[in-house]
Structures are given as structure tokens and as C-alpha cells.
Structure 1
Amino acid sequence: MDKSTRFKQSIAFIEERLYEDINLGQAAQAGYTSLMQLYRDFYTYTGHSVKEYIRKRRLAAALGLIRASQRPLAEIAYSCGYSSQQALCKYVKSATHMTPLEYQKSEACYFFPRFDSETIRQVTVTAETIPKTLRAKFYHPKQYGIEQQALEALHFLIPEYPGRIFGRNGQQRDGLFCYELAVEYDADLLDRLADSTFQEIKLAQKFSSTFAKTTVRNDEAEIGLAWDYLYLKWLRTSMFVQDDGRYFEEYICKSRKVRKLILYLPVKRRTDYDKISVNFCAGLEFLVSSREGDQAEEEASAAVMNYISRHTPEAISAVREFYVAQKGLSYTCGVRLEQAIELPINSGLEVMRVAAGRYAMLECSSCSDRGVFIALLDTWIQEHGWSKDELPAFTTYETGGQGDPDAITMRVWIKLKDVKNG
């Protein structure tokens, strides 16, 4: 039995007793592990502490009852594992900034799903102190392999260097790609770096922060997949958001060869939650194109934008909302129409009207993996007694929200059947 299977057995033990006084020692035993290992595994697999996971799962269930049932608050509190109605009210206020009554009347929905996915790689969250370093920029005409070029330049310059090495992508300059290396501070190193291929040498003071970390072998494709997992999968379902600091990598070398890398993503505990609501949509019209294949999304989007730029270039600046729907390798992409248009024959585009009706909608201010949000919204629908319509989920991206021209709001939409609980 592998580690992830054992962990899911501990999760099943907790879920079966979610509203009881859970013995975490027994939960660990259910997964054939120790209590300390269970604590570590919760961070690794879910991005939550075990107690935080239990609190959020209980609260999600309680809020579902507050929204959908007429049961008294005290009864909901006791049935969901709270010691009193006051305790439930406290947690509701802390998570949603609303009283239970305000939450019942609002459109916003708090939801935290049961963990039920396979981990792709191990992620740990720890407080780390990064030593005082010298940061140096390395420029090269090619982006691919620039990290290795920078490391080779460092080892050629300082073959006996014994300290830690950090790196991250920098900004292009004069048509050249940039990679920034950081080495532990030493006064002698400053002189040796000054007259070399490295440029813009700067001193960075020691600092401490909280990081989500994962280790990956030294392979370009593997490193890219690991970063994608951290940003698009793990971060979206964890109790953390990205902090203000920049990501970076640490090189683990042996005999001047990079054996593996540790990826560092600065994080902080999240204070808000993705917004889920049920809304009536009167119907929206989009100018769309459909394509199929590996580059289908890019090709469909380009077809729409190229058509607009050729036929109604003045409308480009007014485009604020974009549409994306996927089915396998087939993508339909487009832009929101503010007024009806007539398309010429053989344009390769169509005017598509989204069916009017009631939709479950999840909104967030990031552009992460749509699949993660569609799965989350799908689970919310199931756990709250709604039934889905047969229409596929779709995603819209709106730019320029809240007076910020660079702001992007992503919304995932799933059409609901007309009758709840039926």
C-alpha cells in the first residue's frame, strides 16, 4: 500500500466521524502511520493542518444547512460537531465576516471540499531563513538552458565555491534573457564577481519567510511541471496564497553537477475564500470560434481577435469579457457582444447565445487552472443538493474590474436544473 493510499484511509476515517470528537491517533492508525507523520502528511497533501481541515469541513457542512434548511441554529451546531450555537456563530463570523442570518440571506457561498485527489509531488510549508547573499545577473541570447550557463560561469569563476546557490529568472535587457544567481555573502566573492561576465552585483540581506517547497530532479521539463503544480494545483486548494516575495530555486550540487533543485514559493495564510453563488443569467451572447488539437485554445482565440481587428478595429478597445469552453481537445473561445452583429458566410465564426437560466458561479481574481475550479464547483453542487444541467461548464474572464485596467476576474459557470433537490 503506497503512502497516498494510506493517507486517504486516514481521511476516510476523519470524514466518517467528522461531527464527532475525532481521535487523531486512531486516524493515524487507520492509515498505518504515526500521529506526527499524519500531521506532516496533511500539509504535504492538502496544504492544511489536520485541525484546520476538520474545522473547514465542519463549517462547510454547517453553512450548507444554514443556507438550505429551516433547522434552528443550535440544532445545526450540535449536528455538525460544535459545542454550542455561540461557537458556530463565532466560526461563521470569522470565515465569512457575516452572521449566520446575514450569510443565509447573502448570495456568497463558503465551501471547502473533502480532499479526494492524488498528490502529484510532495510539498512542505516551513519558515526558512535565507542567508545574506550576493545577487548577480547573467545575460544570454537564448533562454533555454540559461540557468546551466549561469552556473557554469559561476563554477568557472569560483571552482571551489562551497556555499548555497539560489536562482530565479530576471527581466530581459537589450534583447538578452536574464538569470539571477545568488550566492552566500563573502567579501572576497564580491571582488571576484565584480570583473566577470556577471553584471549588476547587489548585496541582499538575510531574511526569513514562509515558503511552500518541493524538490525536483534537474530536468527542464520536470522543473516546469513542478512550478505549474505549485501555482495552479496545490496553491489553489491549500490554506495559503502567494506572498509578496518572488519565487526562487536552490541548486543542490555534487562535484559541481546539479543533482536536484528545491523550489521556493513564498506564501501566507489566506484570509478570504473563493466566492460561489447561484445566479439567474438572462442569456449572454459571444462571438466565438471552435478549434480542435494541441493548440486549439490559442488558435480559436486568435481567429476571433483577428476577425475583430480586420472588420471592426474600433471594437478591440471595448472588449472586456472573454469566453472559454473545453471538451476534450476541442475548445470554443470568444468575446462578449454588447450588440448584435451579422457575420458573413464562411467567416469561420458564429454568434453563440448562452442559455438563460440558473447557474452556479465561482469567482476569483486569478487566472489559475480552470479544471481545478470546475471540479471544485462541481463538488459544491453535489454537496448542496443541486442537479446539473447537461450543458458543459464554461469560463469567462473580465478585465478592468474595480477601476483597475490590469485586474482580471475569472468566473466558472455551471448551469443548474430548474428544480432544486429534484
Structure 2
Amino acid sequence: MNKSARFRQSIDFIEEHLYEDIPLEQAAQAGYTSLMQLYRDFYTYTGHSVKEYIRKRRLSGALGLIKTSQLPLAEIAYSCGYSSQQALCKYVKSATRMTPLAYQKSETCYFFPRFDSETIRQVTVTSETIPRTIQLKFYYPKQRGIEHQAVAALRTLLPEYEGRIFGRDGEPREGLFCYELAVEYDPEVLNRLAGSLGQELTEVPEFCSTFAKTAVRSDESEIGLAWDYLYLKWLRTSMFVQDDGRYFEEYLCKGGEVKKLLLYLPVRKRMDYDKISVICCADSKFLVSSREGEQAEEEASAAVLKVLSRHHPELIRTAREWYVARNGMIYTCGVRLEQAIELPADSGAEVLLAAAGRYAVLESSSCSDREAFTALLDAWIQENGWSKEDLPAFTTYETGGQAEPDAITMRVWIRLKDVKNG
């Protein structure tokens, strides 16, 4: 049995005893592992501590009952593992900023799904002190391979250096790409770097922060995939958001060669949650175009913009809501229409109607991974007793307009049947 299968057994044990006083030692034993390893595995697989996972799962179940049942609060509290009605009210208000009664009457729904996926990379979350360093900037005409060129140049200057080496992308200058290196502070090292490769030397004081970290072998494509995983997968489903401060990498060398890199992403605990609502909507119309293939989304979006620029350029300036739907390798992209428009028959675009009805909608200011949002909304629909229409989900992106041009709200929409469990 592999590690992920053993972890699933621990998850199964926790879910079976979710509303009881869970002995975590037994949860670890269910997965044939130690308690300390279980703690580490929870961060790796779910991005949550084991206690945070249990707390959120219990609250998710309790809020589902508050929203959909007529049970008294005290009964919900005891059935979901809370010591009292007051304890449940405290957690509800902490998570939703509403009382249970206000939450019941609101359109917003809180949901935290059961973990049901496999990790790709080992991720740890730890508070770590980064030592005082000397930062230098390396410029190069090509972006690809700039990290290796920078480290090689540093090794030429400091062949005997055995301290820690950090790096991250810098700001381009005069047509050259930049990579920033940092080495542990030492007066002798500072003197050797001054006036050589180390142009724009900066001393950076010691600092401490919380990081999500993962190791990756020294391969450019692997490093890119690892960063994508941290940002688009792990961070998206974890209990953390990116903190102030920039990411960076640490080079792990052996025999003078870089063997692995440690990726550091500064994080902090998230204080908000993605909003799920059930709302009744009027008809909505979108001007759309569809394409198929690896670049389908980009091509479909470009086709719509081309039609608008040719026939209705004023809509490009006023458009605030954009549409994306996927069916296999076919992408349909478009823009919301506030009024009827005329198009020539050969325009390559069409008007799509999103019919009036009841929709489950997940809203977030994060625009990273539509598939993850759709899966989350699907899980919420199933767990809360709704049935969905046999129609594809779609996503809209709404900009903040002139007041907040950089603000984007993403919403995933799934059409529901009018009757629950229908």
C-alpha cells in the first residue's frame, strides 16, 4: 500500500468519526503511520492541519443542516460534535460573520469538502528564519537558463563558497533579463563581490516568515511545474493565502553542482472563504465564439474581440463581464450583452442565451483554476441535496470597471433543478 492510500485510510477514519471525539492516534494507526507523520501528511496533502480540517468539516456539515433543515440549533450542535449551542454559534459567526439565523436567511453558503484528491508534490508549511544576505543582480539577454548562468557566474567568483544561495526573478533592464541572487552575509564575501559581477549589491537583513516549501530537482521545466502546483493547486485548496513578500528559491548544491531547489512561497492563514449562493436569475445573453484544440480558449476569445472591434467597438470599452465554458477540448468564450446587437451571418460569432432559472454560484476573487472551483461547487450540490440540470457549468469574470480596474470577480455557475432531490 502506497503512502497516499494509507493517508486515505486515515481520512476515512476521520470522516467515519467526524462528529465524535476523534482520537488522532487511532486515525494515524488506521493509515499505518505515526501521529507526527499524520500531522505532516495533512499539510502535504490538504494544505490544512488535521485539527483545522476536522473543524472545517464539522462546521460545513452543521451549516448545511442550518440552511436546509428545521432542526433546533441545539440538536444540530450536538449532532455535529459541538459541546453546546453557544459553541456552534461562536464558530458560525467566526467563519461567516453572521449569526446562525442570519446565515439561514442569507443567500451565501459556506462549504468545505471532504478531501478526495492525490498530492503531486511534498509541501511543508513552516516558520523559518532567512539569514542576513548579500543580494546581487545578474543580467542576461535570454530568460531561459538565466538561473543557471547566474549561479555559474557566482561560482566562478566564489569557488570555495559553501553557504546558502537564494534566487528569484528580478526586474528587466535595458532589454536584459534579471535574476537576483543572495548569499549569506560575510564581510570577505562582500569585498570579493564588490566591483565584479555583484553590481547593485544590497544587504538584506535577517527576517522570519511562514513559508510553504517544496523541493524539486534542478530542471527548468520541473521547476515551472512545481511553482504552478504551489500557486494553482495546493494554495487554492489550502488554509493559506499568499502573504506579503516575494517568492524565492534556494539552491541545494553537492560537489559544486546544483542538485535540487527548495521553493519558498510566503503564506499566512486565510481569513475569508469562497462564497456559494443559490440565486434565481433572469435571462442573460452573451456574444460568444467556440474553438477546439490546445489553444482553443485563446483563439475563441480573440475571435470575439475581433468581431466586436469590427462591428461594435463601443462594446469593448464598456464590457465588464466575460464568459468561458468548456466541453472537452471545445472552449466557448464571450462577453455579456446588455442590449440586442446585429451581426452579419458570416461573423463567426453567435448570441448565446443563459436561460432564466435557479443557479448555484461560487464566487471568488481568485481566478486561478476554474476546474477546481467547478469540482467544489459540484461537491456542494451533491452534499446539500440539490440536483443539477444536464447543462455544462460556465464561468464569468466581472471587472471592477473604472473605479477598480484591477479587481476581478470570478463566478462559476451551475443550473439547478427547481426542486431539491428532484
Match of 2:250 in 1: 250
Match of 1:178 in 2: 178
Q: Distance in 2 between matches of 1:194 and 1:340?
A: 66
Give the 3 Å change call, closer, same or farther, for CA 256–310 of structure 1 in structure 2.
farther
Match of 2:46 in 1: 46
Match of 2:73 in 1: 73
Structure 1 contact 109–276 (Cα < 8 Å) conserved:
yes
Match of 1:17 in 2: 17
1:113 aligns with 2:98: no
Deviation at 1:403, TM superposition (A): 3.1
Deviations 1:322-380 (A, max 9, x none): 11111121111111112111111211111111121111111111211111111111100
Deviation at 1:402, TM superposition (A): 9.6
Secondary structure, counterpart of 2:189 in structure 1: helix
Deviation at 1:216, TM superposition (A): 0.6
Deviations 1:87-141 (A, max 9, x none): 1111111111111001101111111100010111111000010011111111111
Deviations 1:299-338 (A, max 9, x none): 1111111222233333322121111111121111111112
Paired residue type of 1:237? T
Q: TM-score, normalised by structure 2?
A: 0.98
Match of 1:207 in 2: 207
Structure 1 contact 134–201 (Cα < 8 Å) conserved:
yes
Secondary structure, counterpart of 1:8 in structure 2: helix
Q: Distance in 1 between matches of 2:198 and 2:396?
A: 44
Matched ranges for 1:8-407 at <5 A? 8-400=8-400, 403-407=403-407
Runs of 4+, deviation exceeding 4 Å: none
Deviates more, 1:134-143 or 1:204-213: 134-143
Match of 1:7 in 2: 7
Deviation at 1:197, TM superposition (A): 3.3
Secondary structure, counterpart of 2:376 in structure 1: helix
CA RMSD of aligned residues (A): 1.2
Deviation at 1:26, TM superposition (A): 1.0
Q: Distance in 2 between matches of 1:336 and 1:197?
A: 53
Q: Distance in 2 between matches of 1:79 and 1:403?
A: 47
Structure 2 contact 107–278 (Cα < 8 Å) conserved:
yes
Secondary structure, counterpart of 1:172 in structure 2: coil
Q: Distance in 2 between matches of 1:242 and 1:182?
A: 22
Q: Distance in 2 between matches of 1:387 and 1:242?
A: 35
Structure 1 contact 286–335 (Cα < 8 Å) conserved:
yes
Q: Distance in 2 between matches of 1:138 and 1:283?
A: 55
Q: Distance in 2 between matches of 1:80 and 1:110?
A: 15
Paired residue type of 1:182? A
Secondary structure, counterpart of 1:199 in structure 2: coil
Paired residue type of 1:355? A
Secondary structure, counterpart of 1:339 in structure 2: coil
Q: Distance in 2 between matches of 1:317 and 1:170?
A: 33
Deviations 1:157-214 (A, max 9, x none): 1111111111111122222111111111112222332322343211111000000000
Secondary structure, counterpart of 1:412 in structure 2: strand
Q: Which runs of 5+ in 1 are unaligned?
A: none
Q: Distance in 2 between matches of 1:154 and 1:195?
A: 13
Paired residue type of 1:393? A
Give the length in aligned residue pairs.
422
Q: Distance in 2 between matches of 1:179 and 1:148?
A: 10
Secondary structure, counterpart of 1:28 in structure 2: helix
Deviates more, 1:397-406 or 1:233-242: 397-406
Structure 1 contact 401–409 (Cα < 8 Å) conserved:
no
Paired residue type of 1:206? E
Secondary structure, counterpart of 1:63 in structure 2: helix
Deviation at 1:401, TM superposition (A): 6.1
Deviation at 1:53, TM superposition (A): 0.8
Secondary structure, counterpart of 2:396 in structure 1: strand
Structure 1 contact 141–176 (Cα < 8 Å) conserved:
yes
Deviation at 1:80, TM superposition (A): 0.6
Deviations 1:208-264 (A, max 9, x none): 000000001111111111111111111111111110111111111112211011000
Structure 2 contact 308–315 (Cα < 8 Å) conserved:
yes
Deviation at 1:42, TM superposition (A): 0.9
Match of 1:420 in 2: 420
Q: Distance in 2 between matches of 1:254 and 1:35?
A: 33
Paired residue type of 2:343? L
Q: Distance in 1 between matches of 2:317 and 2:196?
A: 47
Q: Distance in 1 between matches of 2:319 and 2:402?
A: 16
Q: Distance in 2 between matches of 1:174 and 1:201?
A: 18
Secondary structure, counterpart of 2:405 in structure 1: coil
Secondary structure, counterpart of 2:406 in structure 1: coil
User: Percent sequence identity over matched residues?
Assistant: 77
Q: Distance in 2 between matches of 1:378 and 1:168?
A: 38
Q: TM-score, normalised by structure 1?
A: 0.98
Q: Distance in 2 between matches of 1:304 and 1:196?
A: 52
Structure 1 contact 401–408 (Cα < 8 Å) conserved:
no
Q: Distance in 1 between matches of 2:395 and 2:256?
A: 47
Q: Distance in 2 between matches of 1:328 and 1:156?
A: 51
Paired residue type of 1:56? K
